[in-house]
Amino acid sequence: MKASVGPLRQVLKLLALAQNEEAGLVIGARRGDTVYAYILYRTDNLKQSPEEFESDPWQVVQAHRAAEKLGLEVVGVYHTHTACPPSPSGKDVEGMKRWPGVWLIACPGEVKAWTLEEETPVEIELEE
């Protein structure tokens, strides 16, 4: 599996400069073994924390509705870490179990893509 994010990579790097973790859903499409990210649907971080996030549930529903209207789907989750590396934390792994798909994690200057295989985070190829 791989993820294609195009110019959204730069947007994620900029979001990672925020004081608290930023988060949202990735709207796009799946073709073959590639997940294409077209839209980052931002959600409020209810935790307002530099170390963890919790997306507003109503905004999660709205993201799914928006994806459906566009003929796309929610293909994953994105969030930022205020410090590098952009690797899943223990809390992220728990979230990955509940919200399967591609997880884009950004820190200042770097973005990585992850998926969960047999309850273990695995980095996947990230292309432009």
Name the active-site residue from 21, 73, 117, 128.
21
**In whole angstroms, what is the distance from residue 76 CA to residue 18 CA?**
21
DSSP 8-class letter at 42:
E
Q: How far is CA 85 from CA 16, 62, 88, 106, in A?
A: 11, 30, 9, 8
> Is 54 in the active site?
no
Length reported for the chain: 128
Residues that are catalytic:
21
